[in-house]
């Protein structure tokens, strides 16, 4: 029987409420099939306020020994957002070479949406996760004077573009064999013209996959007007970040959206997390939707070679949503615990 070691990072805010239910779902889906061992670490913005550090200096060494990481979100009103990102979350993503950010967007029966054909939504956004617009180079000169200047430099390397493109095309082969490159090369004449050129070259190696290109402004309209058009989307760091939030809104709530920060070569553990943030405004009130974290666990199981366990979790989520149980973000009145416990029960049913 296989044995998986999972590092648990509840993070901040609502993460401390949603994570226990996600862990319960992991154990329920694994029961009788394989062994799972979890260990929790209290790192994040709240940890920073208490100790002066988001995670200990040897935090990466600790995480390196696990098969995967399940995380919620980092953020607290007393801590500047960019510090939570650049001193914690981005450190893990970049140092563990989690260059593929996978964000499925799926609609569920029983969940109301504003779309005319919500049952048609089933796409995966493959977001380049290590460079692009979020690479970091830049600076500010004369910040507080009338001649202040801010520069932010995007970074696009051939190696970075090629590897995310290969990931997207291989993923499409497992689905409906269609990849759409979402870009803005009509305006960004160097970086995204180069992005398009390299992805086009990679596409030639996958003649069995239908490849197309679409500008991001047109894609936002197509998301709403005809979401069934999309299968696998490959896009840049910033565009993937924005489009996945739009996708969450399309299917009823970003609270339903899982994601994975994946190191495809498995040289390092991948990290899975819901798309939503720490939501400090509702923390501690039992209002948070645990499904994004729970489905992130399912995505993790699939990548770790346990697709049946992943499917058990996904089916249980669909069953609970179809039954009418919903948290406030889905226009319901059920609590975090009620949803989490119902999903665990659904997993354990034959």
- CA 114 from chain center: how many Å? 23
Q: What tokens appear for 236 in the block?
A: 């840049």
Residues 124 and 253 sit within 8 Å (Cβ to Cβ):
no
Q: How far apart are CA 203 and CA 209, in angstroms?
A: 8
Q: Which one from 81, 119, 217, 281 is the annotated catalytic residue?
A: 217
Q: Which one from 134, 167, 211, 272 is the annotated catalytic residue?
A: 134
134 catalytically annotated: yes
144 catalytically annotated: no
208 catalytically annotated: no
Provide the sign of the torsion angle of the four alpha carbons 86, 281, 334, 344, taken in this order: positive
241 catalytically annotated: yes
Q: Which one from 12, 67, 231, 241 is the annotated catalytic residue?
A: 241
Q: Which one from 178, 245, 302, 315 is the annotated catalytic residue?
A: 245
Q: Which one from 184, 211, 231, 303 is the annotated catalytic residue?
A: 184
Active site residues: 134, 184, 217, 241, 245
């Amino acid at each position: 029987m296989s044995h998986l070691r999972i590092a648990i990072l509840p993070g901040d805010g609502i993460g401390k409420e949603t994570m226990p239910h996600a862990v319960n779902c992991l154990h329920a889906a694994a029961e009788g099939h394989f062994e799972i061992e979890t260990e929790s670490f209290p790192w994040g913005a709240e940890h920073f306020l208490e100790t002066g550090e988001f995670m200990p200096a040897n935090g990466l060494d600790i995480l390196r020994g696990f098969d995967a990481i399940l995380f919620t979100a980092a953020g607290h009103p007393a801590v500047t957002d960019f510090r939570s990102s650049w001193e914690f979350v981005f450190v893990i993503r970049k140092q563990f070479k989690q260059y593929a950010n996978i964000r499925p967007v799926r609609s569920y029966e029983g969940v109301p949406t504003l779309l005319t054909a919500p049952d048609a939504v089933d796409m995966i956004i493959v977001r380049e996760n290590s460079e692009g617009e979020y690479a970091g180079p830049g600076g500010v000169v004369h910040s507080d004077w009338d001649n202040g200047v801010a520069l932010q430099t995007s970074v696009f390397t051939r190696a970075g573009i090629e590897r995310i493109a290969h990931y997207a095309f291989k993923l499409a082969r497992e689905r409906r064999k269609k990849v759409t490159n979402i870009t803005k090369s009509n305006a960004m004449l160097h970086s995204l013209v180069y992005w398009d050129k390299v992805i086009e070259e990679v596409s030639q190696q996958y003649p069995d996959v239908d490849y197309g290109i679409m500008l991001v402004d047109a894609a936002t309209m197509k998301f709403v007007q005809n979401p069934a058009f999309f299968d696998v989307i490959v896009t840049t760091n910033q565009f993937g970040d924005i489009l996945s939030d739009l996708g969450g809104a399309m299917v009823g709530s970003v609270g339903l959206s899982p994601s994975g920060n994946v190191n495809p070569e498995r040289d390092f553990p991948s990290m899975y997390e819901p798309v939503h943030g720490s939501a400090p405004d509702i923390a501690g009130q039992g209002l948070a939707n645990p499904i994004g974290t729970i489905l992130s666990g399912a995505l993790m199981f699939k990548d770790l070679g346990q697709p049946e366990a992943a499917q058990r979790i996904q089916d249980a989520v669909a069953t609970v949503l179809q039954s009418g149980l919903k948290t406030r973000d889905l226009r319901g009145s059920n609590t975090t615990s009620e949803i989490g416990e119902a999903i665990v029960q659904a997993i354990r049913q034959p």
